Structure 1
C-alpha cells in the first residue's frame, strides 16, 4: 500500500483564538439557497440570549396549564384555561386579596372556602335558582313566633248544628251532611259576641230610671244584670240606690251579711276584692248584688256623698255598675247617679199613665241639659206582669221611637209575674231573648263613647 492516503488534519483546541467558522457568515460555496434561508431565519433577541444556559441551550418556560392538578388541591397558579402567569395586582388595588398570589388571581380559579353559595352558585353553574318564600323577602321582615297560632295551623271542622232538623240530619248521616245553623241561631251568636266585647279600663255606670213605682224597674235591672254577667267575662254588679225600701236583693238569689250603708262606713278598710265580696251577694248567678238597708229610715240617709263613695269603691273592681235608682228625680242621690251615668235605661209600663211619666222623664233630662243621655237612652216597655188591657202597646213603642233610638219590650212571663227571686233559666224563651237584646243595646251605647 502506498503512502498516498491523506492523513487527517490535527484538531484544534477550543482555546485557540481562531474564529469559529460555523458562527461566521455563510460561505460562498454553500449556495444561494442556503444564503436565502439563513437571511429569513429570526436572529436571537437579547432576552433569548439571556435565557440561554451556559451550554447555549434555550430555557423554555413551563406551561402550567398543561400540568394536571393534584387530587387534593390544585397547585398554585394552575388554571383550567388561559395563560399560566398573570401580573400581580398593585399593593393599593382594592381587588387584591392578602396572601393571594398573582397566578391565583386568574379568572376561573376560586380558593377553597370562597365558592358562592345559594342562588349565586346555582346561577354561576348555569342552573335554576332555588325557590325562595315570598314571606322571607317581604319588606317587614320574617314572621315572629306568635304568628304560629292554632287558628292558622289546625284545620277545623264545622260544629254540629244547635238544634232542630239540622241537628238531626247531622247525626243521622254520622256528620257527613252538615247544613249549618239557621239564620236565627247565627244572629243570636252575633248578638252574644257584641255583648262580650271589651270595654277598656274605665268602669261604666248605667242607671235604670223610672218616675213611677211598680213598673218593674227592679225586674229590668235584674234581667239586664243577669244577661250581662252571663255573657261577659268581666265583673258586673247591680247596686240598690233606692232611698226608700229597695227590693233588688229580694229579686236576686243569695243573701249578704252587709249592705251599702255598711260599705260606706267601712270604705277605708276595703282594699281588695275579697273584702268587698263580703258586702255583696251572689248565688245561682254571676251577677253581684249590693243591697240597700231594709229599714226605710236608715236607707233615707243614703245621700249623694254616700253614693259617690260606694261607686268609687265598686269602680276599682267592676267593669259595669248597674244602679237601681229611686223614683224621685230631684233626690240628692239622683244628682250623682246622672253625673256618673254613661247610658240610661228608662222603664215604662204598659198603661197610659206609666207611658206618660216615662216620656216626661225624657223631657226632664232634656230640660236639665242631659241631651247626651237622651240620645243614648233605651226605653223598656215592661208588660211582664200581664197584658190583658185594651192599651195598644205598639203605639207606646212608636211614641218612644220618635224620642230615643231603641225600644225593647219585655213580654208577659209567668215566672216574672210571681214577684219572687228570678232564675234566668226559668224564663220563657221570648223573655230571655228580650233581656239579651237589651244587654246588647246597652253595650253598644257604652262602646260608642
Structure 2
C-alpha cells in the first residue's frame, strides 16, 4: 500500500510506528523504505489453514501422484479402498435425513391407458359370455345420470345452466312416455291375438285395424302382424303399400315350406311402421273355401314369428272363421260408428258374444268409436260412450282425419296429431287387457 504525504506528516507517522513496534506480534513486521516522496508498508498476515473434520478424514483418499507413462491399465479398471475399523464414524440418528418415498411402478405385464389408469387384469383362462354382465360393463356414474329433459322450458333451462339444472320432462311428455310404456308391455308365453270385429260393414273396422297395428308396430320393438281374415274379400292390404300379391291362401298352400321368418316375409307386405300385413283372398269364389282349418294354419304360422297378431274379421259373425278367431282371442276390439244404428249393432255384437260363451271377452273388450262416419255430429257421443262403459272395459274415440276418409293407403307419419294420439291410446288400452304371462 502506498500513500503520498507531506514531509511533516511522514515524520510523525514514522515516530508513531516506532513507538508501536514493541506491541506488535511476532508475525507482523513493518519495513520503512527511505524516500522523500512515499512510504511503503508491507504486512505479513497469518495464513488461515482449514482443518479437516474427523468424519471427512475417515473416508478421505490420499492424493498420490501418478506418472502417466507408469500407469497400468489393468490397475485402472478397479480401485479398492480399505477402511480401518477405528476410522468408522457413527452419525447420530437425528442428523440422518428422512428417505423420500417413491411410489411403486406398475408391473410390466399390466399396461396403462393413455390417461394413466391401470387396465383390468386379464384372466389366464378364457371367459364365458355370461360374465359380461351389466354391473361389470356399465359405468355406474354415467348410468345414474338423468337423461336430458324434454319440453321447451325444460330444455332451455338445461342448456342455459350447462346441464347442471334438470327440471325433468314436461307434463305432456310424461303423459306420452307413460302411454308408450303401456304399449311396450312385455309378454311371456306365445303370441297374443286381438280380433277386430263388428256386425255392420262400413263403420271403419279395417281402418281401425290398420291404426291399431301401426301404433303397436311404431312403438314396440317386436314384430306385429295384421291378418285379413275377411272371407268376403277384405281390403286391409290396400291400406299400405303392397309389396307382394300373396294372400292367406298362399300361406295355407306353402305352410310346410315356410320354415324361417325370411321365407314368411315373402308372403306379407310391410309398411313404414314395420307392420306386416297378410292379405285375404282376392277371388270371391276361392274365399268361400277359407274356413276354420285354414285360419288355424295361418294363426300357427303367425304364432311362430310374431308377438301380437291383429285379425280383421268380416261381418259374417257366424262364419266358421269367426269361431276359430274367438277361440284364440286374448282380447277383442268392437268398432262402432257415431250413428244410432251403428252403435246399436255394435252393442248387439256384444250380446251375441255373451250368448255364445264369450262373457270374459266382452268384459275385457275395448270399443273404438269412429267419429268419421255420417251422422256423428247429430248424435250424443257421450251417451253412446256411457252405454258401452256399462258393458266393456274401455272406450276410445277416434277423431276424423282426411287421410283416413279417403279409404286408400294410410301413411302413419302424415296423420294428424290427435289421430296418432288416439291410435296410441287404443294400443295402450288393448295392451292393458292382455295377460303378461300365459300358461299353456
Residue among 282, 287, 291 paired with 1:303? 291
Q: Which residue of 2 aligns with 1:412?
A: 400
Runs of 5+ in structure 2 lacking a partner? 1-130
Deviation at 1:153, TM superposition (A): 4.3
**Separation in 1, partners of 2:144, 2:297:** 50
Q: Which residue of 1 aligns with 2:242?
A: 254
**Separation in 2, partners of 1:289, 1:252:** 8
CA change 1:183–1:407 in 2 (3 A) is: same
CA contact (8 A) 1:376 1:404 kept: yes
CA contact (8 A) 1:387 1:412 kept: no
Q: Which residue of 1 aligns with 2:232?
A: 244
Q: Which residue of 1 aligns with 2:195?
A: 207
SS in 1 for 2:395: strand
**Separation in 2, partners of 1:433, 1:156:** 31
**Separation in 2, partners of 1:145, 1:349:** 52
**Separation in 2, partners of 1:334, 1:151:** 53
SS in 2 for 1:289: strand
SS in 2 for 1:407: strand
**Separation in 1, partners of 2:226, 2:296:** 15
Aligned length: 307
Deviation at 1:149, TM superposition (A): 5.6
Deviation at 1:415, TM superposition (A): 1.4
Q: Encode CA deviations 1:157-201: one digit per residue, 9 max, x unaligned.
A: 433332333333433444344322122211211221122122113
Residue among 324, 342, 349 paired with 2:312? 324
Q: Encode CA deviations 1:66-107: one digit per residue, 9 max, x unaligned.
A: xxxxxxxxxxxxxxxxxxxxxxxxxxxxxxxxxxxxxxxxxx
Q: Which residue of 2 aligns with 1:166?
A: 154
Q: Encode CA deviations 1:417-448: one digit per residue, 9 max, x unaligned.
A: 12211111111111111111111111111126
Whether 2:194 is the aligned partner of 1:195: answer no
**Separation in 1, partners of 2:278, 2:427:** 20
**Separation in 1, partners of 2:420, 2:160:** 31
**Separation in 1, partners of 2:140, 2:368:** 43
Whether 2:390 is the aligned partner of 1:402: answer yes
Deviation at 1:389, TM superposition (A): 2.6
Q: Which residue of 1 aligns with 2:209?
A: 221
Whether 2:389 is the aligned partner of 1:384: answer no
Runs of 5+ in structure 1 lacking a partner? 1-142
Whether 2:388 is the aligned partner of 1:421: answer no
Q: Encode CA deviations 1:122-180: one digit per residue, 9 max, x unaligned.
A: xxxxxxxxxxxxxxxxxxxxx99664463744354433332333333433444344322
Aligned-pair Cα RMSD in Å? 2.1
CA contact (8 A) 1:386 1:412 kept: no
Q: Which residue of 2 aligns with 1:368?
A: 356
* TM-score computed with the length of structure 2 as normaliser: 0.66
**Separation in 1, partners of 2:386, 2:291:** 36
Return the structure number with greater relative CO, CA threshold 8 A, min gap 6: 2
CA contact (8 A) 1:386 1:417 kept: no
CA contact (8 A) 2:185 2:436 kept: no
**Separation in 2, partners of 1:146, 1:413:** 45
CA contact (8 A) 2:244 2:269 kept: yes
Deviation at 1:300, TM superposition (A): 2.1
Deviation at 1:273, TM superposition (A): 1.0
SS in 2 for 1:187: helix
Q: Which residue of 2 aligns with 1:445?
A: 433
4+ residue segments displaced more than 6 Å: none
1:53-72 equivalences in 2 (<5 Å) = none
Q: Which residue of 2 aligns with 1:293?
A: 281
CA contact (8 A) 2:186 2:436 kept: no
**Separation in 2, partners of 1:334, 1:322:** 13
Deviation at 1:334, TM superposition (A): 0.5
CA change 1:306–1:170 in 2 (3 A) is: same
* TM-score computed with the length of structure 1 as normaliser: 0.65
**Separation in 2, partners of 1:377, 1:385:** 22
**Separation in 1, partners of 2:189, 2:173:** 31
Whether 2:330 is the aligned partner of 1:342: answer yes
Residue among 271, 274, 291 paired with 1:283? 271
- Which 10-residue stretch deviates more, 387-396 or 205-214? 387-396
CA change 1:145–1:219 in 2 (3 A) is: closer
SS in 2 for 1:223: helix
Whether 2:344 is the aligned partner of 1:356: answer yes
Q: Which residue of 2 aligns with 1:181?
A: 169
**Separation in 2, partners of 1:154, 1:352:** 58
**Separation in 1, partners of 2:358, 2:253:** 32
